[in-house]
Structure 1
Amino acid sequence: MRQIILDTETTGLDPNQGHRIIEFAGLEMINRKLTGRSLHLYMHPEREIDPDAERVHGISLDFLADKPKFKQVADQIVEFIGDAELIIHNAPFDVGFINAEFERLGIEPVATLCSGVVDTLFMARDTFPGKRNSLDALCDRFEIDRSNRTLHGALIDCELLSEVYLALTRGQDSLVMDIEVDTGIGAGLGLAFERKPLLVKRANEAELAVHDGYLNDLDKAVKGQCLWRAMENPAPVEGAA
């Protein structure tokens, strides 16, 4: 499977207010391995950059003065992401900006050009409900080194996100990667494994005595026979032979 780890930096938060993409980065991954192929572009937005946005990514309009406009690099982006599955942290944000840029140029939207979109923020919230799931937080949780990330930059964020994605999805592969393939049981699935005998460890006399004492306390609490004793010693059925 061909996947693209993707990130953008923008002039602001809302493409519907005319904000534009100023940095695009993508890393190619095939069969869960980075290929070394990437696309990293800076673009002049043809507008001002919001101060709050600049404080986050550190990209100034002066730096972008000699950079191409989006329309000049759009074909490179389309060719790079075409037919791939995109992996994005907070995908609605980046896809919304890319689609807005594509729409200006009459290019089909991401949903048509690509085979799908995976939102790692959604995955993380599902895996770690109620916890912080920013890229920084996930790097810390998975012990991924982010010491080089002093500002938000699209390329370094892609590099970190690739490791976060693999960590988030590693369990999906373990059922396959850790099983030897042969012609034994499960050959119809292309998988086989040998089930080891289950180890049964029985309670010793001291543990049984503690358990019996606990049941006695339960009997006293319910002023009769607790459910466990009733299950162990079911009452005889009337009329039974």
Structure 2
Amino acid sequence: MEAYYRLFATYEGSKDGNLVRVLHKIKAHLYQNSHEPSALVISWGEYKLLFEKTGIDLRKEMVKKSEVKEFIDRQQGRHIVLGYKKYVTYLYFDEQVASKKVIKATKPREAKLLTVPLIESLEAFSEHIEITPSKCVFIDTETTGLFKADHVIELSVVDDVEDTLFDSLLKPKRKRKIHPKAMAAHGISEDRLAGKPRLIDVQQDVEVQLKDKYAVFYNANFDVAKMLHSSDGRIFDNCLGVVCLMKIYSEVNEHRKWIKLVSACDAQNIDYSDLPNHRACGDARKLARLFKVFYPKLMVALDNKNNQTLELF
């Protein structure tokens, strides 16, 4: 511990306000929890900033989320949790803290893990050659906002012919006000959610539609996180995988930035004038239309990729 405090003392006078904030966050945690185990959550950006500026590498081991519990059981010590997409990094300082108490501290995060494949690149898509439009359902959500604590307040699931499998307004799982910017986008007010079910209340109805299907989202990282947060964390357990069309579309078209759903539809000459914008059902149908039009081009891109791989040998 003394070594860390010496490093903190060296950089506390830094002009980099973000660095100082991260250092104080860790230092305060170590000081306040010197006797009681607890988990400190640090963003991936904070970890990188700390490493680049000070050379302090907190990371000890990267583990897949499915291995998190087993990893904690093997370790002794205070753990710091770093969240990064489908991986979680657990770090430890004090080897004399009982691991079972740390499991209790991190249990809420453990319950919200995606347990099926996340398909967000050509390479990942090539490992699931059975994916066709008819094997997919297309999902979109509207939420109370863009932050981690926000909830799903509208969810729509459609099939490849745009038949509605599930469509409902939803009450937040916990009391959460709708952010004004979010309300301005989708037009859903809190009054309209009165008497509506929570996602966790109708979760089984959604799971039935996802069973043995690939769940296609446009921005999967956002929508999946919100659905896991608003449910019991097992809503995707019976589907075959989750597809992020936004990232795959951008990779195939060599876009450096993510493309909005309506921009991708425009680029593919898809008519969506009959569908509302920023509503779950309308955007889910746009997504289905985009996937069906884009699917042949995706197959060509996969063939080209495979041919390039063969040429290397």
Q: TM-score, normalised by structure 1?
A: 0.62
How many angstroms does 1:141 deviate by? Answer: 0.5
Deviations 1:15-66 (A, max 9, x none): x32x11100101123xxxx273521011112421000111111111111113
Matches of residues 53-68 of structure 1 in structure 2 within 5 Å? 53-68=182-197
Distance in 1 separating the partners of 2:164 and 2:277: 23
Which residue is 1:21 aligned to?
152
Which residue is 2:12 aligned to?
none
Unaligned stretches of 5+ residues in structure 2:
1-133, 302-313
1:81 to 1:62, Cα distance in 2 relative to 1, 3 A: same
Which residue is 1:151 aligned to?
277
Distance in 2 separating the partners of 1:43 and 1:81: 18
The DSSP-based 3-state class of the residue aligned with 2:163 is strand
Q: How high is the sequence identity, in percent, across the aligned residues?
A: 27
One-letter code of the match for 1:20?
A: H
Matches of residues 1-241 of structure 1 in structure 2 within 5 Å? 2-14=135-147, 16-17=148-149, 19-29=150-160, 34=161, 36-45=163-172, 46-103=175-232, 107-108=233-234, 110=236, 112-128=237-253, 129-130=255-256, 133-149=259-275, 151-172=277-298
Distance in 2 separating the partners of 1:124 and 1:25: 22
Structure 1 runs, 4 residues or longer, greater than 6 Å off: none
Determine if contact 1:7/1:157 at 8 Å carries over to the other structure: yes
Q: TM-score, normalised by structure 2?
A: 0.49
RMSD across aligned positions (CA): 2.2
Distance in 1 separating the partners of 2:210 and 2:169: 17
The DSSP-based 3-state class of the residue aligned with 1:63 is helix
1:56 to 1:149, Cα distance in 2 relative to 1, 3 A: farther
Determine if contact 1:144/1:163 at 8 Å carries over to the other structure: yes
How many angstroms does 1:79 deviate by? Answer: 1.4
Determine if contact 1:58/1:151 at 8 Å carries over to the other structure: no
Distance in 1 separating the partners of 2:180 and 2:217: 24
One-letter code of the match for 1:11?
A: T
1:72 to 1:13, Cα distance in 2 relative to 1, 3 A: same
Determine if contact 2:162/2:288 at 8 Å carries over to the other structure: no
Max Rg structure: 1
Deviations 1:169-214 (A, max 9, x none): 1235679xxxxxxxxxxxxxxxxxxxxxxxxxxxxxxxxxxxxxxx
How many angstroms does 1:157 deviate by? Answer: 0.5
Deviations 1:70-125 (A, max 9, x none): 2321111121112210111010111111111223xxx5252x32101111101121
Distance in 1 separating the partners of 2:165 and 2:145: 25
1:64 to 1:8, Cα distance in 2 relative to 1, 3 A: same
Aligned length: 165
